[in-house]
Amino acid sequence: MACHTADPARPFAGGRAIATRFGTFYTPNITSDRATGIGAWTDAQFVRAMREGIGRHGERLYPAFPYTAYTRLSDSDVLAMRAYLATVPPVRYTPPRHALAFPFDQRWLMAVWNAFNFSPGRFVPDPAKSAQWNRGAYLVDALGHCGQCHTPRNLLGGLKDGERLGGATVAGWRAGNLTPARVAGIGAWRDDELLRYLATGAAPGRAYAVGPMAEVVANSTQFLSGDDLRAMVVYLRSMPVVAGDERAPSRWSFGQPAKVDVTALDAMSVFAPTAAAHADGARLYAAACASCHGISGEGEGRAFPPLVHDAVTGALGAMDPSNLVLVILHGVQRPSRGASASMPAFGAQLSDEEIAALASFVTRQFGDPRAATRAADVARLRAIAQ
């Protein structure tokens, strides 16, 4: 749903841009339309695309489509997806062509890429592990394809198996470390916190799902059974530790409530046309954020999470403020049972300099004081297609 929907009014019709260092991919139409979608595909053609990365006419698919994970899917699950997509109302729409630089626009080169980065084959349960562990492995590695976002990639875009689930960057967003590392990963999380995060996108005191992860929760993990969620947690707990780059004793130990005199700041004036181009971060926070997160950053009830002692964007306790900047630029929309979130985007209202000042204030006050944001960082992130 998330990858193949650019316009919510046309679900599964494709056209969503996926930015990579090789260029921009546009997802295909997978509605039941026979001319522009997959309505005319046979089951065999669908299975081959899912498991081998080969399109209907024999063309090689790019690994922006996660066939490297879907190759592990069972027959019943692949055919169940096919049966469901056959019922999706047809939408007559042809997405844009991929915008890839040479030589990445040469599909035949995917045969070489596959030789180094693709191991086809179905999921085989490990007889030495429990049924719960094996179910978690299937969900994380195959059906959920978590590693596609949470594992760093090599120069050719293949996954680095030695750093599996150790965290990576996708379209500017930092996908977290899912290994049991206590500082950089989930080692310090309790099971109930992990279960709540996957089911709702909100684990107070730990993290809140934003960006692509908010879409994962909204479209996928919130609908999983409790047994499946617990199986995923069991499997993730067994992963080899990837230490990551976090060196602080505790990424949730930073920050303190802000002491800001909102009346003295004349907060709303920063949005006036005559406002200074380089408004300071505290004034911007008072204007843009304080009404929901509180002038002190301690939150306003369950609906608006605190910023103090909380990795609210996955960035406040980290050196990389990219997630925070992207949240300010694009906002948050996360419909989930029990923890829906809606935050407006400020990209159209604030300049790169203003967002840099705001992000720097938030991280300095509530997160890692070593983190800093420059206007050039904001401009780079603003330019990435989402």
User: For the purposes of burial, counting CB atoms within 10 Å of the CB of 9, is it exposed (0-12), middle (13-18) or buried (19 or more)?
Assistant: exposed
Distance separating alpha carbons of residues 182 and 189, to the nearest angstrom:
8
Domains and CATH numbers, the chain: 17-117 (no CATH), 131-237 (1.10.760), 262-382 (1.10.760.10)
Torsion angles phi and psi, residue 192, rounded to 5: -65, -30
Q: What is the pLDDT of residues 134-172, one digit of tens each?
A: 999 999 999 999 999 999 999 999 999 999 999 999 999
Give mean pLDDT, residues 253-271. Answer: 48
Instruction: Write out the H or E segment, with its range, that includes residue 334.
Output: strand 332-334
pLDDT of residue 37: 98
User: Which position has the token pair 């330019």?
Assistant: 383
DSSP annotation of 139 reads: I
User: Which position has the token pair 């400020």?
Assistant: 346
Count Cβ atoms below 10 Å from residue 302 Cβ, excluding itself.
Answer: 10
Torsion angles phi and psi, residue 20, rounded to 5: -135, 170
Distance separating alpha carbons of residues 37 and 60, to the nearest angstrom:
17
Distance separating alpha carbons of residues 19 and 378, to the nearest angstrom:
16
Tell me what percent of the residues of the chain surpass a pLDDT of 90: 70
Distance separating alpha carbons of residues 107 and 23, to the nearest angstrom:
14
Distance separating alpha carbons of residues 163 and 152, to the nearest angstrom:
7
Model-wide pTM > 0.95: no
Distance separating alpha carbons of residues 281 and 268, to the nearest angstrom:
13
Of the pLDDT bands very low, low, confident and very high (cuts 50, 70, 90), residue 268 is very low
Tell me what percent of the residues of the chain surpass a pLDDT of 70: 87
Distance separating alpha carbons of residues 237 and 233, to the nearest angstrom:
6
Q: What is the pLDDT of residues 297-356, one digit of tens each?
A: 877 655 677 787 554 444 444 567 899 999 999 999 898 887 888 899 999 999 999 999
Cα dihedral across residues 240, 242, 248, 250: positive or negative: negative
R_g over Cα of the chain: 22
User: For the purposes of burial, counting CB atoms within 10 Å of the CB of 58, is it exposed (0-12), middle (13-18) or buried (19 or more)?
Assistant: exposed
Give mean pLDDT, residues 116-127. Answer: 97
Q: E-assigned strands of the chain?
A: 17-20, 23-26, 99-100, 168-170, 173-175, 202-203, 207-208, 332-334, 341-343
